[in-house]
Structure 1
Amino acid sequence: MATTNIWQQFKSLIPEGVRTIVAITLNNGDGTSTATLRDGTVIRVQGDVPAGNNVLIKTG
């Protein structure tokens, strides 16, 4: 008889990594874009996205 691990089932429902909506402020032209988080932090993300767009980024 197979044992069902409820904790493992629960963990499988939660997506891995953190997802955050950011505002793209600059397309760097090298396959990356500069983005601003809600708290004002500026980060560089992978992806060729035009400035002025809001996008969902995933870490992990």
Structure 2
Amino acid sequence: MIAGKYEWVRRLGSGGMGEVWAGRDRDLHRDVAMKLIVRDESLLPDLRKRFKRESIAVA
């Protein structure tokens, strides 16, 4: 459980920045996708920018 709201359901896959999981928003009763970012020192310089760009694209 994350933030007392999001429940991990199953791992969907992994990529360059981390893993994507299927989840459930228990407050809004809907399915969500959650990304678990891997803290790789070589990715840190532009990780925030890449994550924000990806978040906007999939929204």
TM-score by length of 1: 0.32
More contact order relative to length (CA 8 Å, sep ≥ 6): 1
Higher helix content, 1 or 2: 2
TM-score by length of 2: 0.32
Q: Which has the larger radius of gyration?
A: 1
